[in-house]
Structure 1
Amino acid sequence: MKFIGKRGRLVIALTLGLLLQGCASPTTKSSAGGPDAKAAYQQHVNLAKQYIGLKNRELARIHLSKAERFQNAVDKARLSELYNGYALLYQSELEMELAEKYYRKALVSDATDSVARYNFSSFLYNQERFEEALEQIVLVSEDLDYRRRPQAFYITGLVQIRLGDAVGALKSFERATQLAAQFALPYLEIAKIYFDQKNDELAKQSVLHYIGLAGETAEGLWLLVQTELRMGNSQAVLENGTKLKILFPGSDEVVKYEGLLK
């Protein structure tokens, strides 16, 4: 019996820092070069990221265009931020060819830009280009200075699962939890792997750890129901199944649970 569930599409979590209030353009007076131009470039790029995060594509496009006017004032490596911004914008508009073009431009500008590479790997994952996604995300996970390394290992594990490498995925998910013990999602994936391996005690332990961090979710409760069922704990199956029906009525997991009872 394998885990009956889903592994959804990745959502790129943009870490944009403190959002600036209002929609005002930068007030820095800038020439074609020099520190003012560099500051204007960075300010427009940051505003574009903010508006992409707010799903305001029109203002994001305006600020990316303004940043582009100052691109000659900055080092080539810093252009990766501009290209990454365009890639995210085009991806949000489902212009996938343009998005990929700009992700690649970002990485040509700065091969050490782990933010752009992380976003590109997520993009490739959502395109179901798993081998390419793995190649990119492994490089991100090796960047010791990248603060989203736990998420990089988590994505690595998701890709490895899709490529049929459960052993490698388990190691990646465990590495994610070692780097960020409060990061809930890897524990759920670890539980799924143990469940598929028929290691029910560790599956139950891992899913309970996940629920302890993330709270009760439809996917977590459904996995717990399946685990308790195989362990022969009929009362626990009923209790968790009832929670599932009350908390998540109409969910796919409830439909599966009701099918289990027939």
Structure 2
Amino acid sequence: MGVKLKPAALLLALSMGLTGCVSTSVGKVPVNQDKAVSDYMNLAKGYVQGGYAEKAVKPLERALQIEPRSADVYGLLGMVYQIQSEAALAEKSFKTALSYNSDASDVRNNYGAFLFSQGRLSEAYRQFELASQDLSYPSRSRTFENMGIVALRQGKQSLATQHFEKALRLNSSLARANLELADIYFNQGNNRKSWQFYQSFIGLSQQDAKSLWLGIQLARSSGEKDKAASYALQLERLYPGSKELKEYRSRVGYEY
């Protein structure tokens, strides 16, 4: 996740999964109890999204009193503990969730994100790979994007390219995959393909320091000095302490 990888960039569980993580629990509970479990989970999600992760544990514990074998609840509990930097409890919760429902691809994807954040790249890759095999998983494209990020961290650029391109075939609106491919192709000297992916990226996401620096280099190589200057000004204004700005100043200077 030329690649600026941060664990947080891979944590779909934290940035997206809290509003869309649904797995199937083992066994059935009465409708009214099922609603209670759902309500407790929504309450926990609300606490997390509001920045009160410490309050999210209690409603999840209450949900488990109603449905003690819920993969949904344990999966969310794993994310809550991860936010709290309780790594051992997070891993235990993810593993418990998967022991109750090994087909919970969302939980498996989120567990992979957790493993990535711990620097356990091979294990993370395996979890994403397993989740990617679920053809009915609505976020299957994300698993390929995540595998691409892990592959980049492992120095496997060719494999990363394959994963990012697969991710975009499934979902062309993945900003990260577009940006990483733009970066990969630029470093390979394929400015035409790089520019195509870069244009897709800026249509999907706000610019960050990494993307602005790439944009400067792409525009410069294409002779578009005005566009390069515009990106440079944004980099100066929005990211004054970034390593990308330092690199820009050292390599390009103020020629724009």
What's the counterpart of residue 67 of structure 1? Answer: 63
**Higher RCO (Cα < 8 Å, 6 or more apart):** 2
CA 1:237 to 1:102, structure 2 compared with 1: closer, same or farther past 3 Å? Answer: same
Q: 1:186 to 1:121 in 2, by over 3 A?
A: same
C-alpha displacement of 1:232: 7.1
| 2:15 is aligned with 1:13 | yes
Q: Residue 15 of structure 2 aligns to a residue in which SS?
A: coil
Question: Identity of paired residues, percent?
Answer: 31
Q: Return the letter of the residue paired with 1:51.
A: Y
Q: Which amino acid aligns with 1:187?
A: N
Number of residue pairs the alignment of both structures matches: 239
Checking the alignment, whether the CA contact within 8 Å between 2:78 and 2:89 is kept in structure 1 is yes
The aligned amino acid for 1:65 is: E
Residue 192 of structure 1 is matched in structure 2 by 183
Match of 1:153 in 2: 144
Q: Is the 8 A contact 2:109 2:143 kept in 1?
A: yes
**SS of residue in 1 equivalent to 2:138:** coil
Inter-partner Cα distance in structure 1 for 2:252 and 2:157: 30
Q: Which runs of 5+ in 1 are unaligned?
A: 19-32
Aligned to 1:233: 223
Q: Structure 1 residue 194: deviation in Å?
A: 1.0
C-alpha deviation, 1:202, in angstroms: 1.8
Deviations 1:120-142 (A, max 9, x none): 01001111111101100011122
State TM-score, norm by structure 2. 0.82
Q: How does 1:131-146 map to 2 (within 5 A)?
A: 131-146=122-137
Deviations for 1:181-227, whole angstroms, at most 9, x for unmatched residues?
22222110001111232223222332232123324432212012234
Structure 1 moving runs of 4+ over 6 Å? none
Unaligned runs of 5+ in 2: 21-28
* 1:218 aligned onto 2:220: no
The question of whether the paired residues in 1 share the 8 Å contact of 2:79 and 2:90 is answered with: yes
Q: CA deviation at 1:247?
A: 4.2
Note if contact 2:77-2:93 (Cα within 8 Å) is conserved in structure 1. Answer: yes
**Matching residue of 1:22:** none
Greater shift, 133-142 or 54-63, is seen at: 54-63
Structure with bigger gyration radius: 1
Q: TM-score, normalised by structure 1?
A: 0.81
Aligned to 1:43: 39
Q: Measured at CA, do residues 133 and 104 of structure 1 come closer, stay the same or move farther in structure 2, by a change above 3 Å?
A: same
**What does residue 100 of structure 1 align with?**
91
What is the match of residue 207 of structure 1?
198
Secondary structure of 1:143's match?
Answer: coil
